[in-house]
Structure 1
Amino acid sequence: MKRLMNASIVYEVLGLIGGVFYREFTTLSVVHTHYLMLGMVLFLLLVVVKKNFHFVDNKVLKYLLFYRIGLNLTVVMLVVRGVVQVLSLDASIAVLIGIAHLILGISMVLVLISIRNCIKD
């Protein structure tokens, strides 16, 4: 449970840094919200769910690692895209952003299925 709480704190700090950064590059506002909602809030909610359902095992930890990779890849690609737009450079990274979002979605579904499997009727 401490691991989930630490992840929540890390994503809170990253979200705040993203908020400061986007004030300089205004098109990057989604970096701030991605880290706060998909990072901090998700891991905070997982702390509460874990306490009630004890769903975290080695398989779920792998899903959460997959999720964290997807989240950080998404944010990195959003930062790159935002900087490219602001500086009027030419680069197409939409495919990488799409892949990162796909990783996020798949891992989120796997975690939700793991939680569902631990709920007793």
Structure 2
Amino acid sequence: MKKLFYSAFAYMVIGVLSGLFYREFTKGKDFHGFTQLSVVHTHLLTLGFIVLLIVLILEKLFTLSKSRLFNWFFWTYNVGLVLTAAIMVWHGILQVDGVTEVSGAIPGIAGLGHILLSVGMVLLFMALRTRLFGTAVKHDDGTPATIAR
């Protein structure tokens, strides 16, 4: 539970700081127009701070961390979010600096980050399902059995 709390707090701080960076960096470079930097703030606050606060509530209600899938969710989701936000910052800085031709690696890495976020969400729902409904298993003779949460 503590890692969810501190992670949500960290994303809140980093999200606010990314908004400050966007404002000051674009103002300092006298940049007017769209840049990826403008959406890093909302990505970190929504996908980091708010989502992890919701997961913290679910943890308190259903003890999600008892599911073997929870750690897989936590680390996959966080790696995906950090990767996504980092590449958005990098791409945004390039945009503000006037770089028009960027490597194809930038959208590829951003896509990988989004895939990891999606996999993390699926793992979260699978962990939540096991805590809500138990895990279906079969006896040695093949008849269904259920392990209660």
The structure richer in strand per residue is 2
Q: Structure 2: give runs of 5+ residues left out of the alignment.
A: 27-33, 135-149
The structure 2 residue matched to 1:59, chosen from 42, 48, 69, is 69
| Deviation of 1:44 (Å) | 0.6
2:72 and 2:123 in contact (8 A); partners too: no
TM-score, length-scaled by structure 2: 0.75
Q: Partners in 2 of 1:112 and 1:59 — Cα distance?
A: 9
| Deviation of 1:55 (Å) | 1.4
The structure richer in helix per residue is 1
Q: Which has the larger radius of gyration?
A: 2
The answer for the alignment partner of 1:75 in structure 2 is 85
**For 1:13-32, what aligned pairs fall within 5 Å after superposition?**
13-23=13-23, 24-25=25-26, 27=35, 28-32=37-41
| Deviation of 1:46 (Å) | 1.0
The answer for the alignment partner of 2:102 in structure 1 is 91
TM-score, length-scaled by structure 1: 0.92
Structural RMSD (CA): 1.6
2:22 and 2:38 in contact (8 A); partners too: yes
